[in-house]
Structure 1
């Protein structure tokens, strides 16, 4: 944070400014260039080089300065904003057994998505698509499952079609590679190879690359498609992409445990779906019986005595 102006109001206003920033739920620290107060009179506070709101009180003036500074930066949605966007995009009720997992995933991915080092990449997309499809396997309605996916990705201000398209390209590309040859992308030309080279370059720089569990799962899916079961291939691929093999191993262990739990969960989901179908059939039968009874009663009532 840049030093405050030498004006006597500065020391007593720091606490108010910090409170204002926290209240706005910003996930990034405000840059000092837009936070700094100018040397203009106490009645006017300057934010980012522009005159701000007239200060009614010293504290309120700095709060206004912080608010103006925040609005001048790139707006980052809050978790609440992302969840609200999802709810607005998909208005149908989601069974709680799925809804709880989706909401938890959405919060986690929101934090990844708006990390300052995050840049979309197809391996991350493949990892998420893999997890989503496994979690939602057995969902009662295929169209609703696809609609939920679109609402979810759109709520993160990303393109659901790009996620699906890039994931399919990677799977098809990996399936065409030899087991060990999947890590030899650096010396080859092609759309997928170019994307992998870009990831490796950014991962080496550490500035525009955000490693996550979804990325590790994307790597695992690539190896599955290439039928590369040798652990050495994963090590070679991780090295070629400039990501930590240790981190990948750790996250894949978590993923394998998740798959085991998913297998058990699918049994519960099947029981849930069967139970809901039975309830629906009973409701439909009851409604049909009621309608039939009302029809008979109406017919009987219309007969002459």
Structure 2
């Protein structure tokens, strides 16, 4: 799996030209992580994609998990912003806001049901996105705020992702696909997914699920392209959908690398400019100090 380049930088203001370039490049081809709307982080409202329209609307979804109506997207976003109030560098925040909207819509579908492969996919995407974040503690705090805003358990996400990763490392291409003939906690999870996806229960395929499958293949060193096809067949998942979403995921990682490199160059230029501005000040201070010392000596 591609790894996002690690770098550290301070928050960039909305007005910086590099920020606009980075965000544009990052999201232009990533349709799976982009919604046909724009939103305001301050008003927590949605605006129609038509720039000449002043109408606002609230997205509602149907859910079978509760008798209460599902919350609007704006409420989920507000919960996230209230839980983590520190500024987030724009390159991270742009994608995080896109993801939380998308995951809200997944969560409140009638067919949604949490599963460990979905959790592994989201954790994989999140860790790749936040790789190189200035503070490791803040990175985890943002994760906690994000999952809790969706009324889910961040500890469960982490625990299930680690469980599946440990299991996958102990597998090979053959044993990974042959989960249905074996017993074990992870095998039972995969059997349950296969049964529900086959029509015997609620199952909602998602892009995070596709990334979770990819992560299982990666950790088990199942590099043969036919293994993904066999695994999808065993799980009753449409492989064409998985292929499409994995292409978008790889493209997202590539765009993240490009955007972070642009931002890194911007930060380095700004740092150099600040250093250049301080040089004359230091020279003036040295001259003043020299003159003061000599005048004092002469007196």
Fold conserved between structures, TM > 0.5: yes
Equivalent residue for 2:216? 222
Distance 2:167 2:122 in 1: 18
Which residue of the other structure, out of 28, 42, 58, is the alignment partner of 2:62? 28
Distance 1:29 1:125, change over 3 A: closer
Distance 1:105 1:281 in 2: 37
Distance 1:77 1:219 in 2: 29
User: More relative contact order in 1 or in 2 (CA 8 Å, sep 6+)?
Assistant: 2
Distance 1:162 1:278, change over 3 A: farther
Q: Does 1:132 align with 2:126?
A: yes
Shift >3 Å, 4+ stretches: 23-26, 269-282
Q: Does 1:212 align with 2:219?
A: no
Distance 1:24 1:265 in 2: 31
Equivalent residue for 2:262? 268
Q: Check the 8 A contact 1:174/1:222 in 2, yes or no.
A: yes
Map 1:147-162 → 2, pairs under 5 A: 147-162=141-156
Which residue of the other structure, out of 240, 263, 283, is the alignment partner of 1:246? 240
Distance 1:275 1:208 in 2: 52
Give the 3-state SS of the residue equivalent to 1:92 in structure 2.
coil
Distance 2:128 2:104 in 1: 20
Q: Check the 8 A contact 1:177/1:226 in 2, yes or no.
A: yes
Equivalent residue for 1:19? none
Q: Check the 8 A contact 1:138/1:269 in 2, yes or no.
A: no
Tell me the C-alpha RMSD between the 2 structures: 2.9
Distance 1:109 1:206, change over 3 A: farther
Equivalent residue for 1:120? 114
Distance 1:24 1:91, change over 3 A: closer
Distance 2:115 2:271 in 1: 40
Distance 1:226 1:209 in 2: 25
Which residue of the other structure, out of 161, 164, 169, is the alignment partner of 1:167? 161
Q: Check the 8 A contact 2:91/2:259 in 1, yes or no.
A: no
Which residue of the other structure, out of 63, 70, 74, is the alignment partner of 1:76? 70
Structure 1 segments unaligned to the other structure (5+ residues): 1-22, 31-71, 290-305
Q: Structure 1, residues 113-146: CA drift from partner, whole Å, max 9, x if none? A: 1111000011111111111111111111111111
Structure 2 segments unaligned to the other structure (5+ residues): 1-56, 283-299
Distance 1:145 1:230, change over 3 A: same
Which residue of the other structure, out of 86, 89, 92, is the alignment partner of 2:80? 86
Distance 1:213 1:26, change over 3 A: closer
Distance 2:105 2:208 in 1: 13
Q: Check the 8 A contact 2:63/2:109 in 1, yes or no.
A: no
Q: Check the 8 A contact 2:58/2:73 in 1, yes or no.
A: no
TM-score by length of 1: 0.67
Larger radius of gyration: 1
